[in-house]
Amino acid sequence: MLRIYNTLARDKQEFTPIVPGKVGMYVCGMTVYDYCHLGHARVLVVFDMVYRWLKASGLDVTYVRNITDIDDKIIKRAAENGESIHALTARFIAAMHEDADALGVQRPDHEPRATQYVPEMLEMIAQLEQNGLAYKATDGDVNYAVRKFPGYGKLSGKSLEDLRAGERVDVTDSKHDPLDFVLWKHAKEQEAAEVKWDSPWGKGRPGWHIECSAMGSRLLGQHFDIHGGGADLQFPHHENEIAQSEGAQLVDGKHGQFVNYWMHNGFVNVDKEKMSKSLGNFFTIREVLKKYDAEVVRFFILRAHYRSPLNYSDMHLDDANQSLNSLYTALKHVPVEDAAVDWNEPHAQRFKAAMDDDFNTPEAMAVLFELSKQVNSSKSIEAARQLKALGGVLGLLQEEPVERSQRPRNIVMEANIVLEGVTANIAVATYTSESINNLIDARTAAKQAKNYAEADRIRKELLAAGIVLEDSASGTTWRRA
RNA sequence: GGCGAGAUAGCAAAAUGGUUAUGCAGCGGAUUGCAAAUCCGCCUAUCCCAGUUCGAUUCUGGGUCUCGCCUCCA
């Protein structure tokens, strides 16, 4: 039985879908004005893992991950670049898809864009106005009247009083309450035509939070199962989504429930500080993928629990790389075709128990390592199949191990390693597999002639280029260090 | 200032009121012509102070420190 940590309850709860066997899941995706960084990678990978596990559990999942393609930052960036909003967002949506695909993230079932749902947003704003929760302010914006919504603060655990006491809340004259937020921003003279939509409140564009409420309700219904996103969205974004979506539903004077389970993933940190644009301590996904395999990055993300902080550094990625290699090495020695998981087998049961406990991927991975140990010592095909199949549940271990071990590294930085006292530059790619095989043949001949000096010379020559030779009963194979 | 999360071995990271987490790194051994890989063994832990308990890393209270949210943020 799956248990999920529900931010709304601040506790793990048994997961019960609204409609038995079906799950509606919505995750806040990107605002597309720049390349995705590792923080975005974590959301993508974590909820991809959740999506996969729900499906593996036999549930019929509808996964929606939105794209915010209209917002202040987008408008600003487009103006800076002297390009249209559409050109800008199209570019970064394509880039995001490249990054997500590389990380083995499955496409969601729906990927709605804010600009395609403006009518739904207007409909919701009208409903809020009708329910007495929205008002047109003197400056022309339509605002949400926070104090009129009874449950405001229930997700983030903040009271209106606490929030007002905060030093950093903007005070705008046109708002009835400083905490009121904008549903519809009135159009400004200087803004381009492509950011202006007609509405009953005049020309304008949507506020930040309304798009998720409108798209979620449209695609998953007014009441759905899971809503996820980064922990920083808890307040105000998700709090406001609740206010909007529940505020718009009013039956017999009572507001309906919007989402049953709220999930929030932890941040990616650099030197213990949150990776963020303002601090300038972020690494884009594509930047990191120049140095590390995408699967290593995915492994790195999933080896920590999704709610824990995740500290990024090259050292940690190197460590993740070594760990993942060892799993692949086990599969290299016992090659298997694709296979389904045997869920009755003890490892799979422990894996399932871990995943069912709020998606405990570190525990699930520990099972993978124990399985790999069994593969190494027993050479069991069944164990190897199980290892690959369980890895597949996490979106890992699906590459061909030998091919993977011989693929040239896409390392751009100078990277030296020391093996056997030889300093190897693993960026050197001067040896083709053909030339390597020729050298292996020459070395085999030298070995047969008991000319070990020559055999060792060849081995060290290759080692200096980051190529490791491995002798076995069935001959010599090679891999990149 | 308000609210919240967390402190586990060299590093990373789970779990647990008593019984080996796991991985990387390191050390010793087996194996190997030498290696690599693998196997076996070893090595380092539960922030501090009280309390509850037969027993606490785990529960309670206090403290210290770190981080996050309260403003755009995944």
Residue-wise pLDDT for A159-170, tens only, equals: 888 887 665 555
Q: Is the pLDDT of residue A412 over 50?
A: no
Give, in Å, how far the C1' of B31 lies from the CA of A415: 31
Residue nearest B24 (alpha carbon to C1'): A319
Average pLDDT of the residues of chain A: 92
How confident is residue A52, by pLDDT bands cut at 50, 70 and 90? very high
Q: Which bin fits A5, alpha (ψ -120 to 50), beta or left (φ > 0)? A: beta
Place of tokens 């931010």: A7
Nearest to A216 by CA among A120, A144, A133: A120
Which A residues between 366 and 405 have a beta carbon under 7 A from any strand B atom?
Answer: 366, 369-370, 372-373, 376-377
| Strand B within 7 A of A445 CB | no
Q: Is the pLDDT of residue A411 over 60?
A: no
pLDDT tens for A275-296 read 998 888 999 999 999 999 999 9
Residue A255 has phi, psi (to 5 degrees) of: -85, 135
pLDDT computed for residue A319 by the predictor: 96
Q: Is the pLDDT of residue A234 over 50?
A: yes
Distance CA A374, CA A369 (A): 9
How confident is residue A409, by pLDDT bands cut at 50, 70 and 90? confident
Nearest to A107 by CA among A44, A24, A36, A31: A44
Please report how the helices A239-248 and A210-220 are oriented relative to each other, as an axis angle in degrees rounded to 10. 60
Of all nucleotides, the one whose C1′ comes closest to residue A360's CA is B14
Between 3.40.50.11540, 3.40.50.620, 3.40.630.30, 2.60.120.590, what CATH number should domain A3-265 receive?
Answer: 3.40.50.620
| Strand B within 7 A of A177 CB | no
Per-domain residue ranges for chain A?
Answer: 3-265, 269-405, 408-480
Domain A269-405 belongs to what topology?
A: Four Helix Bundle (Hemerythrin (Met), subunit A) (1.20.120)
How confident is residue A413, by pLDDT bands cut at 50, 70 and 90? very low
Which A residues between 47 and 106 have a beta carbon under 7 A from any strand B atom?
Answer: 71, 73
| Strand B within 7 A of A333 CB | yes
Strand B bases within 7 angstroms of protein beta carbons: 1-5, 11-15, 21-25, 32-40, 66-74
Which positions ≥6 away from A448 have C-beta within 8 Å?
Answer: none
Nearest to A282 by CA among A444, A42, A97: A42
Distance CA A234, CA A140 (A): 28
Of all nucleotides, the one whose C1′ comes closest to residue A324's CA is B23
Q: Which of A21-30, A184-193, A361-370 is predicted least confidently?
A: A184-193
Q: Is ipTM beyond 0.90?
A: yes
